[in-house]
Amino acid sequence: MVTVNGSVVAIDGGAGDLNPTGHEVTFAGTVNGYKIQLQARSQSGGGSGGGSGSSGYRAGIDLLDLQVIGDNPTGPLTITLSDTYSLPGSGLGTYDLVSQLNRDSTPGYSTSGTVSLATTATSGSGSGGGSTPDVSLSPGQSSGTSSGSFPSTSNDYNLGQTVVVDGLGNGDGVQVSGGSVVHAPAPASAVLLLSGAPFLMMFRQFRRGQNRSVQPVI
């Protein structure tokens, strides 16, 4: 779902979405004096990427491209992308949150103002959540990242990515891309299995030693 300045402007596969592909949203329109073109994608599943570690569960919102042009803008522009995900296993534990933002100038337009991105995650039951500090980029700054954590307390959670454009002048433009990621470690059962492997090897070697016939000493 895409929300601009508090109003829902696009829902995946529904009103305002120009992209027929599932879990991808394309929006184009003018809101509060800002011309907006946006492409975003939501993904989840096991494997590498995001947060710390190279295994476990990863879900995220990819802001593939956002172009904003000032057309007599009024006040700051706030764009929020959100989706709901299921946690793996019991859903208990601490999960990493990561925000990443890239800023480019829009061809043919001068640039001004600041652009920021922050990620939030909240438990579906409302009993837990976390966020990352804002990644804020002024003209001339190309990229930035920030991280936080999320203590999960339920089997689902809401992931949100909020982009704020502030101080963009009339006729100025800005282009950004980035991502919001939640990353969970491998399930505890897998960790226990891996940590027990050396002990199992030693146990097998011990049993083989017990079954070996004893040779007389001459």
Place of tokens 């004096």: 33
Average pLDDT, the chain: 80
pLDDT grade, residue 133 (50/70/90)?
very high
Integer Cα distance of 123 and 158 in angstroms: 6
What backbone phi and psi angles, to 5 degrees, belong to 139? -55, 135
Q: What is the pTM of this model?
A: 0.79
* pLDDT tier, 211 (very low <50, low <70, confident <90, very high otherwise): very low
Residue 27 is predicted with a pLDDT of 96
Q: Which residues contact 48 (CB under 8 A, 6 or more apart)?
A: 54, 55, 58
**What is the C-alpha to C-alpha distance for residues 120 and 83, in angstroms, rounded to an integer?**
11
Can you give the pLDDT at residue 210? 45
Q: What is the mean pLDDT of residues 182-204?
A: 45
pLDDT in tens, 9-33: 999 989 999 999 999 999 999 999 9
pLDDT tens sequence across 106-117 = 778 888 999 999
Binning pLDDT at 50, 70 and 90, where does residue 196 land?
Answer: very low
Decide if pLDDT at 89 tops 70. Answer: no
